[in-house]
Structures are given as structure tokens and as C-alpha cells.
């Protein structure tokens, strides 16, 4: 079964070639781009379905298993929306080509099972992101932020490749048998890609630079982060504790921002960050319920932001539905992870350090998500519609039948990943299907027969304070950049961006050197 | 009425139904899930008003922030109850209250004090909520009050009762085997409802911090005192 792999890898490459070719013909370009996106999304969906069924999905050196299929689906989903948003860009064809290319470069490492090929593919993915960042951001502050995020990504590459090089003596098959130091380094590399505090600057910078670049980070880069994070978490119990601590701390930071800082972050983005942190805690805990919950939270975190953006052209209902945290995969997943942590606390109270931030953060985010700023439109027609339709279907499935979602998605991944490092017992199911059905029925009735007219139409355009500071800002947020207001500031930002570009290029060169060394050593030892 | 208001109200209604079904024992579930459902119901009231025009929206926005600031307190309250009982399942919690005795009366002295601290923190969190209505100036110069729709006020009351039921399950509500067991539930929930009702008239600026401090003290005492 290789069609899925070919579609996922070739469709974005085809899009990268065809989008600029039709650059001067918007209607035709939309058609071509829509077809490429549909093929890409279809390939990811097909891979997910086939791997959940247990069928092998592979083509040459590229292999899907159910865990990688989840990651690829999330990456492709976000990238599709990034491409859709670029439809209204003044250089739409080139920007869409850059995004397609970046998607292919980011997805490829997710399908590789050898350390030597992963070592080569990681820098190529970073290069793809760099090209997309350059195409999307133009000059000035956007370029500065984009350069900083790519520089951080290159630093993450260097860390990951050092770890791969350290573990190469034990073979090239992933996941490798890592040392304790290697596990911690790989966790740091993963945290940079996941955008979790205290290494959240790369993701934050990319979101601030351009929403399309943010979506690329939200999808492909985040998926790579999870791939690396699970290798790190599986290596040593101490690393698993550290990963869980990173997740709990990140939740605390997000909660503080939601409750006190009133940050300007879009709800879709903060839901994605929350889902990421919950998922990392769940994977670090391990055990059946926590892993199920982690997979569901991960799926919700991939879907959250694309849906938030893609819902704009339809109606505010779509966006508000997404913001309704008490339903859907994030609720189910979070509940499973939190319950696993709370249950563990009854035997070993130190697990409260994970459970308490998780509960507090989820509650405060559930309150804060309703009061939010709006985002600009997600781009016109075909592509946004495709993404939104798939996303709404996914979220509806997660929300309507959470226990079935766990059995259809969570259990296969949990079986593949095996028992975790911190917890290995328990088999609590998700939210019962009948309870979910009753709650959803109540929601439908309440929506139809809710309270009558409230006030006089509200105050659209009310925004949160843009950049209010809080004591946890430093941990969770990128450094400031000059405003777009003046020419001098823009020039200064461009000059700084050049310095960041030079630093990023240096790190990229180091990572390419490390990758070549890994490949040559692997070849010399007969691992290939 | 905006779509966001409708979705918020629908979420709250779904949360209230879910919390009621869990707390009434129709479905077995975790105390954390019941908390998320009940919280959703309580928050939905203000979320429905965020788009309701400048008069009601300003108060709603403040109350949303106020609710969020009580999140740490609720996390500590839940942790205290779960740690004291040694389980997070709602049915098991009621069983522990029935067999080992109520958390607020039985067990090590420190654990009992801790349970009272957590109960006080939870009661404070339920009661501390800005008024739904907004005072305005009428044309004649006399005061007027803009009130949200009655369905939202009912949802708010339902959410508060669900939170009271959650506290009862954690600290003083045993498995109902005979008529006297009902008394604990009825009296406790009624007392919490009265506290919540009367609390509307009081404004206590540092309530979230005090509730969190009480919850933390309760958790520390239960950690020291141990399970029954």
C-alpha cells in the first residue's frame, strides 16, 4: 500500500511546481492548489485509516505506522490551511509554492525509520521552513521574527543531530537507545519545536511573524517535535519526569496568560498549546488511559488552530463551536490525562505537581477562551473550505463519540507506543458514549431554544490588550520586535534580521555537517 | 443574539447535563470530569453575555476573569478530596464517605481540618461571583437594573448547584443506602446554596487568593494527616 505515501509526498511537490506556474491566473491556480491540497489531505487520511486497520503503508524508505500517521495528518492539515491563507497574498503563487515545499520538507522526516536518513531530512525540513518564512514575511519586524524562529529551529536541529551522532554506535534503527544526557538534549530539541515554555520563543515568533508561518510550525514542526519527544521520553524515567514537568509548567504559563495577562494570542493557538502540553504529560505518564488521552489531546491540538481560522468565512458559529472547550477531543483527552495524574497522586503525592497545574490551567483556559480577539480571514474559497469540512468532521467525531474515538485512534497508538515510563496500570475508558450523546443532545436543544435577544448586537472589534506584561511572559513569549510604524524601525529590524539570518545559517551549516557525519559513519559501519 | 452566545449557552447546558448525570450516579466517571462539566456550565453564563451589548458585556468580561482566577483554588479542592479518599472515581468517593466516614468528621484530626479548609475554599469559590445585573442610570435620574435573560440565571443557579453537589461528593455526601444519608446531601447542598445566594451581595476583592490559600492549607493538612 504505497498510494498514501506517494500522495502525501508528491502532492505538495506538485503544488510547489504548479502554483507559481498558474500565478497570474487566480481562478486556475485555485483549482490546481485545491486539487493538490485535496490529494495531500486524502493521502494523509488514507494512511490514517489503513494504519489504524493494521495494514502496512510504505513506499521505498518511507513508512507509516499509526503514530506517524497521526502526526502526518496533523502536519498536513495545518499546512493546507497555511496554503489556503496565502491565496490572498500579493505574490500568492510564489508564497503557496514555498508553503507546499516547506510542507513536503517537514513531512518527509516523519516517515523515516532510520537515524541516518532522519539526520539528513531534519535540516532539509528547516531549510523548507526558512524559505517559507522568507517568502511570507517580506522585510522589517516580520522578517526579524521569522529569522529568529528559523534560527531556533536550526538550534533544535543541532541538538537533535548531536544526540543521533552520540547514539549511532548502537545502530540506526529508531528510536535509538539513548544515554541520559542524550535523552535530555533530545527533549530540549523537541521542546523548542513544540513551543513549550521555557523554550516557547520559536513558536511565538513564528505566530507573530505571519499566521501562515505559525500554521507551518503548528503542524509540521510540532509533529517533528512530538516524534523527537517520544524518543526522549522513552529513553529514561528521569527524562519522562522532565518532560511531564515541562508540560505542567507550560500549562501553568498558559493559564497565567489566560487569567492575568490577557495576552493577544488567538484562542486557536492557545488551545493548540494547551493540547500539546497535555499530550506531552500524557505520553510521559504512559499507561493506557493517559496515552489515549494524550493522542486525543494531540489530535485536538492539531485541529484547533486550523479550524479557528478556517471557520471565519462560514460563520461565527463555527469558530465559537471550536472554542467550546467542554466538548470534543481536548476535553476527553485532558480528562483522561488529568484523571491518570490524579489517580497516580493518590498513591504517590508527587504526581500532584502534574495534576494541579493541569486542572487549574484547563479551567482557566476554558473560561478565558470565550473572551478573545478575532483573526483575519483564512483566505478564500476552495482550500479553506476543504480544510474546514475535514476539520469539522474530525471534531464532531471526537465530540460525539469520545469512547469510540479513543478506540479508533487512541488505542492503536497506545498499543504501538507500548507502556509508558511513569505509569503502567489502569484501563479507565473515555467519556461513555451514552453520556456524550445525552450531553450533545442537550447542547443541540439549548442552541435552538437558548435565551432570546441579548442586548443590541454586542461590540465587535473589542480587542484584548495587545502586549500586556506578566511575570511569566519571559518564559512563554518571544522577545519584542520593532513596530511596523516607522521606516527607521523597519530598517533596524531588517538589519537585526540579517544578523539572525547569519546565525541561523551558521547553525544550519553545523547541522548539515553533523548530518553528513552521521550518514558517513553509518555507511562506514555497514548500518545502511 | 449572536452565534457565539448561542454556542456558549449550548455548551453550558451540555455541561450541566453531563455534571448532573455524573453526580447523580447515572454514569460513573471521575471527579475531574464532573468538575470540568460543572465549570463549563458556570462559565457559559458569562460567555453568553460577552457579545450582549456594552452594558452587560463589561460585567460579563470581568466575571469571566474572576472565574478563571478561581481555577487554582478548584484544583486544590479537588486534589484535597481525592487525596483524602484515595480515589478519583465519584462512586468510590461516595463509598469512602459511607464506609470510612465523612471527610469533615472522621479520620485524623489534621485531615478533618484539611477537609474543612478545602470545603471553605470551595464554598468561597461558589459564592464569589459578581452580580449578573448591572446598575444603570434611568432617564428620570432614578436607578435601573439591566438583568440577563432568566434562562441564563437558571443556568447559573444550576451550575452553582452542580458545584455544590461536587463539594458534597468530595467531603460530606455518603453513598445513599438509607434515608438518613439523604439528610447529609440535602442539608449540605442547601447550606452551600444559601452561601452562594447570600454571597452575591458581598464583594471580597481577594477571594481567589484566600480560596487558593485555604485549598493549599487543606491539601497540606491532608497530605500530613493521610487517608482514613
Residue A163 to residue B183: CA distance in whole angstroms? 63
CB distance A65 to A416 below 8 Å: yes
Given an 8 Å threshold on Cβ–Cβ distance, is A455 in contact with B51? yes
DSSP for A257-297, please give it: IIIII-----HHHHHHHHHHHHHHHHHHH-SHHHHHHHHHH
Beta-carbon contacts below 8 Å between A and B = 232
Residue B71 to residue A51: CA distance in whole angstroms? 39
Q: How confident is the model at residue A484, as a pLDDT?
A: 60
Given an 8 Å threshold on Cβ–Cβ distance, is B83 in contact with A352? yes
Residues 57-96, chain B: which have Cβ within 8 Å of A? 57, 61, 64-65, 67-72, 74-76, 78-79, 82-83, 85-88
Could you count the other beta carbons within 10 Å of the beta carbon of residue B206?
A: 9
Query: Number of structural domains, chain B?
Result: 1
State how far residue B145 is from chain A, nearest Cα, in angstroms: 13
CB distance A278 to A293 below 8 Å: yes
Please give the DSSP secondary-structure letter assigned to residue A482: -
Task: Kindly tell me if the per-residue pLDDT of B38 is higher than 90.
Answer: yes
- The radius of gyration of chain B's CA atoms, rounded to the nearest angstrom, is 18
CB distance A86 to A92 below 8 Å: yes
Q: How confident is the model at residue A464, as a pLDDT?
A: 41
In this structure, what are the phi and psi dihedrals at residue B174, rounded to the nearest 5 degrees? -80, 170
Given an 8 Å threshold on Cβ–Cβ distance, is B14 in contact with A331? no
- Of B4, B61, B74, nearest to A363 by CB-CB distance is B74
- Of B14, B54, B150, nearest to A440 by CB-CB distance is B14
Q: How confident is the model at residue A457, as a pLDDT?
A: 37
Which residues have CB under 8 Å from A78's CB, separation 6+?
A: A215, A216, A218, A219, A220, A222, A302, A305, A306
CB distance A78 to A302 below 8 Å: yes
**Helix, strand, or coil here: A430?**
coil
Given an 8 Å threshold on Cβ–Cβ distance, is A335 in contact with B149? no
Q: Which of A431-440, B94-103, B106-115 has the lowest mean pLDDT?
A: A431-440
Which chain B residues have a beta carbon less than 8 Å from that of A472?
none
Residue A448 to residue A500: CA distance in whole angstroms? 53
Answer with the residue of higher pLDDT: B78 or A421: B78
Which chain A residues have a beta carbon less than 8 Å from that of B13?
442-443, 445-446
10-residue mean pLDDT series, chain A (528 residues): 86 92 85 90 89 83 88 90 83 89 92 86 91 84 86 92 86 77 92 83 83 88 92 87 89 73 54 85 84 85 74 60 61 83 83 85 78 52 62 68 68 70 55 75 78 46 45 65 70 81 89 89 74
Q: How confident is the model at residue A154, as a pLDDT?
A: 93
Q: Cα dist. B206→A255, A339, B115, B198 in Å?
A: 19, 30, 21, 18
Q: What percent of chain B is helix, strand and coil (3-state, nearest 5)?
A: 70, 5, 25
- Of A439, A453, A454, nearest to B18 by CB-CB distance is A439
CB distance A266 to A305 below 8 Å: yes
Given an 8 Å threshold on Cβ–Cβ distance, is B3 in contact with A317? yes
Burial class of residue A492 (count of CB atoms within 10 Å of its CB; 0-12, 13-18, 19+): middle
User: What are the tens digits of pLDDT across the range B118-128?
Assistant: 999 999 999 88
**What ipTM goes with this model?**
0.87
Which chain B residues have a beta carbon less than 8 Å from that of A447?
6-7, 9-10
Which chain B residues have a beta carbon less than 8 Å from that of A361?
71
Q: How confident is the model at residue B46, as a pLDDT?
A: 87
Buried b (16+ CB within 10 A) or exposed e, A383-395: bbbbbbebbbebb
- Of A431, A446, A455, nearest to B10 by CB-CB distance is A446
Interface test with B, best of A254, A329, A369, A439 (most B CBs within 10 A): A439
State how far residue A368 is from chain B, nearest Cα, in angstroms: 7
Q: Cα dist. A289→A80, A406, B196 in Å?
A: 31, 9, 36
**Helix, strand, or coil here: A1?**
coil
User: H helices then E strands: how many in chain B?
Assistant: 9, 2
- Of A317, A356, A452, nearest to B75 by CB-CB distance is A356
CB distance A508 to A151 below 8 Å: no
Domain that holds residue B139: 3-225
| CA-wise closest residue to A181 among A242, A259, A255, A251 | A242
Phi/psi class of residue A54: alpha, beta or left (left: φ > 0; alpha: ψ in -120 to 50)? left
Is the overall model pTM greater than 0.80, yes or no? yes
Q: Which of A299-308, A316-325, B144-153, B181-190 has the lowest mean pLDDT?
A: A316-325
Buried b (16+ CB within 10 A) or exposed e, A246-259: bbbbbbbbbbbbbb
Q: Cα dist. A151→A82, A197, A490, B67 in Å?
A: 21, 17, 20, 39
Which chain B residues have a beta carbon less than 8 Å from that of A457?
2, 51, 53
Which chain A residues have a beta carbon less than 8 Å from that of B148?
451, 454
- Of B8, B53, B64, nearest to A320 by CB-CB distance is B8
Amino acid at each position: 500500500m504505497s498510494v498514501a505515501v506517494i500522495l502525501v509526498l508528491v502532492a505538495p511537490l506538485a503544488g510547489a511546481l504548479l502554483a507559481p506556474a498558474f500565478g497570474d491566473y487566480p481562478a486556475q491556480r485555485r483549482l490546481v492548489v485545491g486539487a493538490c491540497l485535496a490529494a495531500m489531505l486524502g493521502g494523509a487520511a488514507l494512511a490514517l485509516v489503513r494504519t489504524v486497520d493494521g495494514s502496512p503503508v510504505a513506499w521505498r524508505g518511507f513508512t507509516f505506522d499509526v503514530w506517524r500517521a497521526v502526526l502526518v495528518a496533523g502536519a498536513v492539515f495545518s499546512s493546507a490551511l497555511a496554503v489556503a491563507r496565502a491565496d490572498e497574498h500579493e505574490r500568492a503563487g510564489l508564497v503557496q509554492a514555498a508553503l507546499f515545499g516547506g510542507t513536503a520538507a517537514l513531512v518527509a522526516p516523519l516517515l523515516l525509520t532510520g537515524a541516518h536518513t532522519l539526520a539528513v531530512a531534519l535540516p532539509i525540513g528547516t531549510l523548507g521552513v526558512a524559505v517559507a518564512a522568507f517568502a511570507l514575511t517580506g522585510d522589517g519586524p516580520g522578517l526579524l521574527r521569522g529569522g529568529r524562529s528559523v534560527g531556533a529551529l536550526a538550534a533544535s536541529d543541532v541538538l537533535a543531530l548531536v544526540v543521533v551522532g552520540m547514539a549511532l554506535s548502537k545502530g540506526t534503527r529508531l528510536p535509538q537507545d539513548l544515554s541520559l544526557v542524550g535523552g535530555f538534549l533530545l527533549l530540549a530539541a523537541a521542546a523548542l519545536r513544540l513551543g513549550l515554555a521555557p523554550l516557547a520563543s520559536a513558536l511565538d515568533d513564528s505566530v507573530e511573524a505571519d499566521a501562515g508561518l505559525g500554521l507551518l510550525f503548528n503542524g509540521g514542526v510540532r509533529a517533528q517535535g512530538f516524534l523527537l519527544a517520544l524518543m526522549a521520553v522513552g529513553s529514561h524515567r528521569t527524562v519522562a519526569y522532565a518532560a511531564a514537568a515541562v508540560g505542567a509548567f507550560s500549562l501553568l504559563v498558559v493559564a497565567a496568560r489566560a487569567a492575568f495577562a490577557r495576552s493577544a494570542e488567538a484562542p486557536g493557538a492557545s488551545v493548540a498549546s494547551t493540547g500539546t502540553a497535555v499530550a506531552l504529560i500524557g505520553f510521559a505518564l504512559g499507561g493506557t488511559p493517559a496515552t489515549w488521552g494524550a493522542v486525543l489531546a494531540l489530535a485536538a491540538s492539531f485541529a484547533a488552530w486550523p479550524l479557528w481560522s478556517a471557520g471565519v468565512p462560514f460563520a461565527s458559529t463555527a469558530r465559537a463551536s471550536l472554542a467550546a472547550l467542554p466538548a470534543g477531543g481536548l476535553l476527553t483527552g485532558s480528562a483522561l490525562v488529568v484523571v491518570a495524574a490524579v489517580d497516580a497522586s493518590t498513591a504517590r503525592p508527587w504526581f500532584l505537581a502534574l495534576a494541579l497545574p493541569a486542572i487549574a490551567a484547563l479551567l482557566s483556559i476554558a473560561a478565558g477562551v470565550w473572551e478573545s480577539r478575532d483573526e483575519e480571514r483564512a483566505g478564500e474559497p476552495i482550500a479553506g473550505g476543504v480544510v474546514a469540512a475535514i476539520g469539522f468532521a474530525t471534531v464532531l467525531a471526537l465530540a460525539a463519540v469520545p469512547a469510540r474515538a479513543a478506540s479508533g485512534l487512541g488505542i492503536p497508538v497506545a498499543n504501538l507506543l507500548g507502556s509508558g515510563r511513569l505509569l503502567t496500570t489502569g484501563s479507565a475508558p473515555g467519556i461513555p458514549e451514552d453520556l456524550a450523546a445525552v450531553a450533545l443532545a442537550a447542547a443541540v436543544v439549548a442552541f435552538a431554544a437558548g435565551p432570546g435577544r441579548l442586548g443590541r448586537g454586542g461590540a465587535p472589534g473589542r480587542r484584548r490588550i495587545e502586549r500586556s506584561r506578566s511575570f511569566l511572559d519571559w518564559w512563554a513569549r518571544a522577545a519584542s520586535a520593532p513596530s511596523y510604524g516607522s521606516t527607521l524601525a523597519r530598517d533596524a529590524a531588517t538589519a537585526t534580521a540579517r544578523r539572525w539570518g547569519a546565525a541561523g545559517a551558521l547553525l544550519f551549516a553545523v547541522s548539515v555537517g553533523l548530518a553528513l557525519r552521521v550518514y558517513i559513519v553509518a555507511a562506514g559501519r555497514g548500518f545502511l | 443574539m449572536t452565534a457565539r452566545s448561542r454556542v456558549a449557552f449550548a455548551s453550558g447546558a451540555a455541561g450541566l447535563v453531563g455534571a448532573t448525570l455524573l453526580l447523580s450516579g447515572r454514569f460513573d466517571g471521575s471527579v475531574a470530569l464532573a468538575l470540568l462539566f460543572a465549570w463549563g456550565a458556570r462559565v457559559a453564563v458569562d460567555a453568553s453575555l460577552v457579545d450582549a451589548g456594552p452594558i452587560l458585556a463589561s460585567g460579563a468580561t470581568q466575571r469571566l476573569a474572576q472565574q478563571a482566577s478561581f481555577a487554582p483554588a478548584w484544583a486544590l479542592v479537588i486534589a484535597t478530596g481525592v487525596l483524602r479518599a484515595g480515589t478519583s472515581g465519584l462512586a468510590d468517593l461516595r463509598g469512602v464517605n459511607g464506609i470510612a466516614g465523612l471527610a469533615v468528621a472522621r479520620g485524623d484530626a489534621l485531615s478533618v481540618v484539611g477537609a474543612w479548609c478545602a470545603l471553605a475554599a470551595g464554598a468561597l469559590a461558589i459564592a464569589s461571583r459578581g452580580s449578573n445585573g448591572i446598575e444603570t442610570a434611568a432617564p428620570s435620574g432614578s436607578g435601573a437594573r439591566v438583568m440577563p435573560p432568566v434562562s441564563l440565571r437558571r443556568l447559573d443557579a444550576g451550575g452553582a448547584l452542580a458545584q455544590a453537589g461536587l463539594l458534597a461528593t468530595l467531603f460530606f455526601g455518603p453513598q445513599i443506602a438509607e434515608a438518613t444519608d439523604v439528610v447529609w446531601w440535602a442539608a449540605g447542598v442547601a447550606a452551600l446554596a444559601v452561601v452562594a445566594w447570600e454571597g452575591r451581595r458581598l464583594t471580597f476583592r481577594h477571594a481567589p487568593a484566600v480560596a487558593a490559600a485555604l485549598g493549599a492549607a487543606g491539601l497540606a493538612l491532608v497530605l500530613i494527616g493521610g487517608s482514613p
